[in-house]
Amino acid sequence: MKEVIVTAPHAYEIREVPIPVLTSEYEVLVKMKAAGVCGSDHHIYHGKNPNTIYPRIPGHENAGIVEKVGSRVSKVKVGDHVVADLLITCGICYQCRIGRKNVCETVKVRGSSADGGFREYLSVPEDDLYIVPNHIPFKDAALVEPYAIGAHCTGRGKVVKDDIVFILGTGTIGSIILQTCKNIGCTVICCDRVEETLERAKKYGADFIINNAKENVIERVREITAGKGATVAFDSACFPGSLTSLFEKGLIRNAGRIVSLGFSTENESISQAMLDIRELDLIGSRMSCYQFQPVIDKMANNGFNLDGIATTFINFNEIDRMFDYMDHPDPKVKKMVLLFD
Ligand SMILES: [Zn+2]
Ligand SMILES: [Zn+2]
């Protein structure tokens, strides 16, 4: 089989290797059909993912068909369509015991701290697989993981119907948070500096859009919210300073929540007063936790607008094109998905 391995920042090889042999009775061999390309895959290639040790096979948004099962596997059978969870966790630490396995003491992530799915076959323990109904195309099943992020972070932000949500950054994850909040019934304000992504946000149901390259964000939010501010804000822009900008007076009202999704190592400029005077909740959010199944169920019932989330489909045999887009970003290529046949 073929696998793609990033050997060092900005260096990769396409290798011909044996198909993995199942090493446990509970393991499953999955023939890959589609793999989403996520921001973290870009970061691995560019040497900007602090959790990556090279060489590494990227890819954590993996959908495929069960090809072979270990003797004790009971959850899936040959021919099932599946997606693989990205988390590899211990199951016994404090976090695992309280249902927060995404921040397990020893969490490993397929595709960054462990090898991922940019290869033709992947072996996975059965517990890490979720069955996807056959009517969901693999190219869509590969989007279960980013939608699980949307479900997780909106859960972390305790989003309810009455919320007025402010989303900074309307790329892939911002668009998914938007769709998730609209499903809950919230009013959503999307803010970005790229007009095209704001237009797309409108298509996904954004009630208000703000172009922060052209408009005064605080003034617009005041206008929209009768001077009170949003009740919850998501930072899916994730550039240094983006989190601090959500604390600006007028953006979030007293007792509001701010959910951060970024991994910038730069210091932000948040004072105690900025957090405490309005008694805001500042909430961290990482990947997702137990959200694959609910997302698959929702996707099976056409609960999301997947049109335009993945913008670019690339055959695995032409993976050079994916790296080419990583080297030379094209604003039209927002999210790539690799297809395996
Ligand atoms: Zn992802
Ligand atoms: Zn654990």
Flag whether the pTM goes above 0.95.
yes
pLDDT of residue 98: 98
Nearest ligand to the C-alpha atom of residue 83: 1
Nearest ligand to the C-alpha atom of residue 96: 2
CA distance 78 to 84: 15
Q: How far is the CA of 316 from the centre of ligand 1 (A)?
A: 18
Neighbours of ion ligand 2 (CB under 5 A): 89-90, 93, 96, 104-105
pLDDT in tens, the chain (341 residues): 999 999 999 999 999 999 999 999 999 999 999 999 999 999 999 998 877 889 999 999 999 999 999 999 999 999 999 999 999 999 999 999 999 999 999 999 999 999 999 999 999 999 999 999 999 999 999 999 999 999 999 999 999 999 999 999 999 999 999 999 999 999 999 999 999 999 999 999 999 999 999 999 999 999 999 999 999 999 999 999 999 999 999 999 999 999 999 988 899 999 999 999 999 999 999 999 999 999 999 999 999 999 999 999 999 999 999 999 999 999 899 999 999 98
Q: How far is the CA of 105 from the centre of ligand 2 (A)?
A: 5
Q: How far is the CA of 39 from the centre of ligand 1 (A)?
A: 7
pLDDT of residue 284: 98
CA distance 180 to 177: 5
Contact 208, 167 (CB under 8 A): no
Nearest ligand to the C-alpha atom of residue 107: 2
Q: 12 has which bridge partners?
A: 6
Nearest ligand to the C-alpha atom of residue 102: 2
CA distance 212 to 192: 6
Name the residue among 261, 243, 264 with its Cα closest to residue 252: 243
Q: How far is the CA of 71 from the centre of ligand 1 (A)?
A: 31
Q: 27 has which bridge partners?
A: 125
Q: How far is the CA of 68 from the centre of ligand 2 (A)?
A: 28
Structure tokens that stand for 149 in this block: 């992020």
Contact 288, 145 (CB under 8 A): yes
CA-based R_g, the chain, Å = 20
Q: How far is the CA of 142 from the centre of ligand 1 (A)?
A: 9
Q: How far is the CA of 57 from the centre of ligand 1 (A)?
A: 14
For residue 103, the surrounding DSSP H or E stretch is: none
Q: How far is the CA of 177 from the centre of ligand 1 (A)?
A: 13
Nearest ligand to the C-alpha atom of residue 87: 2
Report residue 243: phi and psi, to 5°. -65, -45
Contact 296, 271 (CB under 8 A): no
CA atoms within 13 A on the CB side of 303: 18
Q: How far is the CA of 102 from the centre of ligand 2 (A)?
A: 8
Q: How far is the CA of 8 from the centre of ligand 1 (A)?
A: 21
DSSP codes joined into one string, 150-211: HHHHHHHTT--TT-EEEEE--SHHHHHHHHHHHHHT-EEEEEES-HHHHHHHHHTT-SEEEE
pLDDT of residue 232: 98
DSSP conformation class of 70? -
Nearest ligand to the C-alpha atom of residue 117: 1
pLDDT of residue 74: 98
Q: Which domains does the chain have, with CATH numbers?
A: 2-143+306-339 (3.90.180.10), 151-284 (3.40.50.720)
Q: How far is the CA of 199 from the centre of ligand 1 (A)?
A: 23
Nearest ligand to the C-alpha atom of residue 99: 2
Nearest ligand to the C-alpha atom of residue 88: 2
